[in-house]
Amino acid sequence: MKKFLATAVLVWTLQFAFAAEPETIAIVGAKAYITPGIEPTVNATIIIRGGRVEAAGSGLPIPAGAQVIHADGKIVTPGLMNSGTELGLVESGSDDTTDRAVSSGPIGAAFDVQYALNPNSTLFPLARADGLTRAVTLPSASAGAPFTGLGAVLRLSEGAEILDRPRAAMFAVTGGMAASQVRGSRSAQWILLRNALDETLRYVKLGPAERAEPGRNQLLNRMNLEALVPVVEGKVPLAITAFRESDIRQGIKLAEDYKLRVVICGADEGWRVADLLAAHKIPVVLNPFADIPATFDQIGARADNAALLARAGVVISFSVPGVHYSHNAGLVVREAAGIAVANGLTWNQALKAVTVNPAATWDISNHYGTLEPGRDADLVIWDGDPFEPVSAPEVVFVRGKRVSLQTRQIELQERYSPQHANDPWPPAYR
Amino acid sequence: MTGFSISRLCGVLSAVVVVLCARAALGQAAGSAAIPVNPYPSTYKPLPASDTFISGVTILDGLGNRVENGAILLQHGKIAAVGTSLQAPAGVVVIEGNGRWVTPGIIDVHSHLGDFAAPLTPADLKVSDVNEATDPNTAQVWALHSITVQDPQFSRVRAGGVTTLQILPGSRNLFGGRGVVLKNVPAVTVQAMEFPDARPSLKMACGENPKYTYGEMGRFPSSLMGNVAGYREAWVKAREYQRKWDAYNSKHDPSAEPPVRDLKLETLAAVLRGEILVDVHCYRADEMVIMIDVAREFGFRIAAFHHATEAYKIAGLLAQNGVCAAVWADWWGYKMEAYDAVRANAAFVDAAGGCVMLHSDIPMSGEHLTLDAATALGSGRRAGLTITEERAIEWLTRNPARSLGLDDRIGTLEAGKNADVVLWSGDPFSVYTKADMVFIDGAVVYDRHDATKHPQSDFEAGQPSLGVRP
């Protein structure tokens, strides 16, 4: 046993030594979007040290001993960010691998997804291989509708440390399709939201002893009140899913009345209130594919929603509900950006919508979003235009570490590659 | 795709959900005197068309050719000529391509438009027109009868270049019913959209959807083996039904009492006679090969496996058996039977000499089938295959036409074929490219730059939400 342990330690040490990143990495010859939103720097050098970008620009000297990666004129962007997924909370759709929601019991706004995250989910390597390095992962329902609970910002590092910001935002869902959860009327959603904020505002004024036993006529228990304290204090945003113009306006009013930070998610009819959203500095998370009157709340859905909102000055970012929501969280956010460009958003605005904009919306701008010195070195070297579905990343770094682009899907492809067509041994031996 | 786990597939931002997841029996019924020919026949008439000449375009003809700086002539609703040295005849409408691209109209072999119409309501989540989910065998139902022609989604996918659609029942039943092929033209009746003389199809389903739908009700089938027993029992009955009709017809005795008609068995018997093709919702490789054996056991032909996420594992077998695979480029993991899906699926089936096609299932995909093709193309190339754009376009045009048995009329740009054509703003495999013009039988059914050619469904008429921003 001892011998085994000693060997194991030795092997582990060796592996660690081999796997250790070189201290300094220099990416050279890049067409680098150092600050998304402005024109790229051609023939740029990006120096990575200690997990961060140390320097980025043209004509930089390469530090002695640096490992050099030649970008050969290819596009380099910050790693991308998806503003709404269930990454880490879902695997196969099977209930035992699905931790997105609670349906009954005491947990309402206090539902917090951070404890369920599975860094070994097969969704992560694929998302990384598609150029995603940050994502919001969020709850879909709690026992305290319209609140769904607390979402987190993830960093898509390899290994266990994927939590970037727990409790990054409180989420709530409004609208006709969710009204049955509040017994029928969307008005009840807004009444319950306002009541919860009122109760929390009273709660924060209580002393510690009183807080232990909240008042009799409270709808919210202590756990749910505690979860809402940072919201009423303006420390974290309340992210409200709202599609219809009337609901978006209610969200804006809520932000005004309670001096909250509000993010509107969905916002298919957001273009109708673009100026108001901009004036209130309310960021919007939208789905650029949404151009169908899919429900009565979405009659005004149109393909240029992203372009119209951005033109009005709204900070937009993307999330694509449906089958690709989490399982293709990287590819779909790239396609979403491309679709938005095809419908009037500028390319530079689209890149912002998958980097600096979500960074600002979810409060991680101090370390992610650009390739400026001091930021975490999340970056991608692309083999083409990142928004084209035919393109793919060639090199991905998350927090200064080059990550593997191998996925379970690629392993399956290798097993069943046409080159094995005449192999008498079953794929299980490959 | 799924017939039951809507909520599981639904993102929190989604007010709608991913759609729940066989061609109209024209029942030629050779010799079956008592069985009427399609009682709901097509009344389709091509929309008014002018003869049109498009020049200066890159043409992907669907036959594996790429014509640079080519031209195409559409006359009398048909393709008259394709080439590089064509001249515009006098009196035709001339469109300068200026480097744009032309392909055949896209054919989507798996759509639920009209059967799962927008706007979706909470009632549709409980009971929808896409599945008659009351019995594992509903071979008697026709998707045709569920179609809401005013579904605004028809126009959305037309603007994505889709000219022909096969509308299928959902996948909750072993036998979901008959599908129908439609021309993607705005119409007031479904008969006016019906593709004339298209052969009907029967939708069957393998796997999780039937077994969970009925298993969770405590009914048969509740397992994969139950599914297969369910198919076989039905085909045994269908053979017996067919035998009775054959015996009746062979008597040529007008006074003889005909067998009692059974709509369910009528559909299945038509399959056995080869008048209806079979489309099978089937994800897994092992289940697909079982289905090929079931088909052989009872003597019918499977046109295509739909969704077929594991087609790549049996690509050679599919090619040998002449069964097409209708796939998405990249859907995976939302349920167990989709866990092994890979993005090179389409390319691997193609490389084995099989007939692969990209299908939509949901409108979001239907609007962007070229993006699915682009994803599949890029993934195949990265897996080491050499694939050209002129080859990949066949996955959206020629192959689905073949699967539907309509390759004598649509799917390629050849003289004499229907003038179903898309003029793209650029390379159709680019996310930035849009359909500029869509022609069906030579008529301009969509023109991106002409507001009079942006048809609107009745549902959208007079909606303040669509109006000018106040």
Residue B356 at interface with chain A, using a CB cutoff of 8 Å: no
Instruction: Check residue A216 and give its pLDDT.
Output: 73
Structure tokens at A19: 């796997």
**CATH number of domain containing A250:** 3.20.20.140
Q: A119-169 pLDDT, tens per residue?
A: 999 999 999 999 999 999 999 999 999 999 999 999 999 999 999 999 999
* Range in A40-49, A207-216, A396-405 the model is least confident about: A207-216
**CA A121 to CA A119: how far, in whole Å?**
5
Strands A52-58 and A41-49: antiparallel
Closest CA to B232 of B320, B299, B307, B133: B299
Collapse the DSSP code of B437 into the 3-class scheme (helix H, G, I; strand E, B; otherwise coil) and give the result: strand
B53 confidence band (pLDDT: 50, 70, 90): very high
Contact A298, A290 (CB under 8 A): yes
A266: left (phi over 0), alpha (psi -120 to 50) or beta: left
Query: In chain B, what's the furthest Cα-to-Cα distance?
Result: 74
Instruction: Check residue A421 and give its pLDDT.
Output: 86
- Percent of chain A past pLDDT 90, that is, above it, reads 90
Q: B438-470 pLDDT, tens per residue?
A: 999 999 999 999 999 999 999 999 999 998 765
Q: What is the DSSP letter of B462?
A: T
**CA B435 to CA B426: how far, in whole Å?**
9
Q: Which amino acid is at A404?
A: S
Same domain, A117 and A153: yes
- Residue B65 included in any domain: no
Same domain, A64 and A130: no
Q: B215-242 pLDDT, tens per residue?
A: 999 999 999 999 999 999 999 999 999 9
Residue A241 at interface with chain B, using a CB cutoff of 8 Å: yes
Which domain covers residue B246, as residue numbers?
7-21+105-411
Residue A421 at interface with chain B, using a CB cutoff of 8 Å: yes
How much is the average pLDDT of B145-150?
Answer: 98
* Closest partner CB to B11 (pick from A98, A292, A325): A325
Contact B17, A176 (CB under 8 A): no
Burial of A415 (0-12, 13-18, 19+ CB in 10 A): middle
Instruction: Check residue B30 and give its pLDDT.
Output: 42
- Percent of chain A past pLDDT 70, that is, above it, reads 94
Same domain, A351 and A393: no
Same domain, A41 and A90: no
How much is the average pLDDT of B74-100?
Answer: 97
Q: Over chain A, what is the mean pLDDT?
A: 94
- Residue B444 included in any domain: no
**CA A80 to CA B261: how far, in whole Å?**
61
Phi and psi (nearest 5°) for B79?
A: -80, 125
**CA B63 to CA B152: how far, in whole Å?**
32
Contact B185, B164 (CB under 8 A): no
Q: Tokens 């009079």 identify what position?
A: B452
Contact B229, B297 (CB under 8 A): no
Check pLDDT > 90 for residue B5.
no
- Residue A418 included in any domain: no
Q: Distance from first CA to last CA of chain A, Å, rounded? A: 32
Give how far Cα B413 sits from Cα of A47, A146, B330, B417, Å.
Answer: 52, 54, 28, 7
Same domain, A293 and A184: yes
Q: For residue B294, give every residue at least 6 positions away whose Cβ sits within 8 Å of its Cβ, in sequence order, or none.
A: B228, B231, B232, B235
Q: B373-408 pLDDT, tens per residue?
A: 999 999 999 999 999 999 999 999 999 999 999 999
Same domain, A124 and A195: yes
- Residue B253 included in any domain: yes
Cβ-defined contact of B121 to A295 (cutoff 8 Å): yes
Q: Where are the alpha helices (DSSP H) in A46-154?
A: 123-129
Instruction: Check residue B467 and give its pLDDT.
Output: 81
Instruction: Check residue A300 and give its pLDDT.
Output: 97
Residue A243 at interface with chain B, using a CB cutoff of 8 Å: yes
* Residue B446 C-beta-side C-alpha neighbours within 13 Å: 27
Burial of A373 (0-12, 13-18, 19+ CB in 10 A): middle
Burial of A348 (0-12, 13-18, 19+ CB in 10 A): middle
Cβ-defined contact of B336 to A92 (cutoff 8 Å): yes
- For the beta sheet containing A80-85, the strands, ordered from the edge strand earlier in sequence to the opposite edge, are A80-85, A132-137, A147-155, A163-173, A238-242, A262-266, A284-286, A316-318
Contact A311, A343 (CB under 8 A): no
Instruction: Check residue A61 and give its pLDDT.
Output: 96
Same domain, A53 and A94: no
Q: Over chain B, what is the mean pLDDT?
A: 92
Q: Tokens 């150029």 identify what position?
A: A131
Same domain, A362 and A374: no
Which domain covers residue A64, as residue numbers?
1-79+369-403
Check pLDDT > 70 for residue B7.
no
Instruction: Check residue B33 and give its pLDDT.
Output: 46
Structure tokens at A375: 């930021």
**CATH number of domain containing B251:** 3.20.20.140
Q: At what angle do helices B224-251 and B208-215 cross, to 10 degrees?
A: 100
- Residue A315 included in any domain: yes
B35 confidence band (pLDDT: 50, 70, 90): low
* Closest partner CB to B465 (pick from A300, A391, A417): A300
What total number of domains does chain B contain?
Answer: 1
Contact B378, B388 (CB under 8 A): no
Phi and psi (nearest 5°) for B246?
A: -60, -45
- Residue A410 included in any domain: no
Same domain, A37 and A71: yes
Instruction: Check residue B29 and give its pLDDT.
Output: 40
**CA B440 to CA B164: how far, in whole Å?**
9
Contacts of A91 in chain B (CB under 8 A): 333
Instruction: Check residue B468 and give its pLDDT.
Output: 72
**CA B373 to CA B352: how far, in whole Å?**
18
**CA A143 to CA B338: how far, in whole Å?**
30
Chain length of chain B: 470
Contact A363, A168 (CB under 8 A): yes
Closest CA to B244 of B24, B31, B28: B31
- Residue B241 included in any domain: yes
Q: What is the DSSP letter of A225?
A: H
**CA B66 to CA B8: how far, in whole Å?**
43
Instruction: Check residue A188 and give its pLDDT.
Output: 98
**CA A109 to CA B59: how far, in whole Å?**
56
Strands A284-286 and A316-318: parallel
CB < 8 Å from A in window 50-79 of B: none
A21 confidence band (pLDDT: 50, 70, 90): low
**CA B405 to CA B408: how far, in whole Å?**
8
- Residue B161 included in any domain: yes
A7 confidence band (pLDDT: 50, 70, 90): very low
- Residue B303 included in any domain: yes
Residue B5 at interface with chain A, using a CB cutoff of 8 Å: yes
Cβ-defined contact of B8 to A123 (cutoff 8 Å): no
Same domain, A169 and A241: yes
User: Domain boundary at A314, A344, A368, which?
Assistant: A368
- Residue A147 included in any domain: yes
What total number of domains does chain A contain?
Answer: 2
Q: For residue A24, give every residue at least 6 positions away whose Cβ sits within 8 Å of its Cβ, in sequence order, or none.
A: A47, A48, A49, A54, A63, A65, A66, A67
Same domain, A227 and A335: yes
Residue B385 at interface with chain A, using a CB cutoff of 8 Å: yes
Instruction: Check residue A214 and give its pLDDT.
Output: 67
- Residue B84 included in any domain: no
* Closest partner CB to B14 (pick from A285, A293, A321): A321
**CA A53 to CA A48: how far, in whole Å?**
5
Collapse the DSSP code of A316 into the 3-class scheme (helix H, G, I; strand E, B; otherwise coil) and give the result: strand
Residue B12 at interface with chain A, using a CB cutoff of 8 Å: yes
- Residue B60 included in any domain: no
Instruction: Check residue A80 and give its pLDDT.
Output: 99
B160 confidence band (pLDDT: 50, 70, 90): very high
Check pLDDT > 50 for residue B20.
no
Q: What is the DSSP letter of B20?
A: P
How much is the average pLDDT of B131-142?
Answer: 97
- Residue A229 included in any domain: yes
Chain length of chain A: 430
Check pLDDT > 80 for residue B194.
yes
Check pLDDT > 70 for residue B23.
no
**CA B357 to CA B326: how far, in whole Å?**
5
Q: What is the CA radius of gyration of chain A?
A: 23
B13 confidence band (pLDDT: 50, 70, 90): very low
- Residue A55 included in any domain: yes
pTM of the model: 0.94
How much is the average pLDDT of B150-154?
Answer: 97
- Residue A411 included in any domain: no
Q: A275-299 pLDDT, tens per residue?
A: 999 999 999 999 999 999 999 999 9
* Closest partner CB to B382 (pick from A148, A341, A392): A392
* Closest partner CB to A292 (pick from B152, B329, B342): B152
- Residue A426 included in any domain: no
Instruction: Check residue A84 and give its pLDDT.
Output: 98
**CA A334 to CA A391: how far, in whole Å?**
10
How much is the average pLDDT of B271-300?
Answer: 97
How much is the average pLDDT of A395-421?
Answer: 97
Same domain, A65 and A98: no
For B243-259, the three-class secondary structure string (H helix, E strand, C coil) is HHHHHHHHHCCCCCCCC
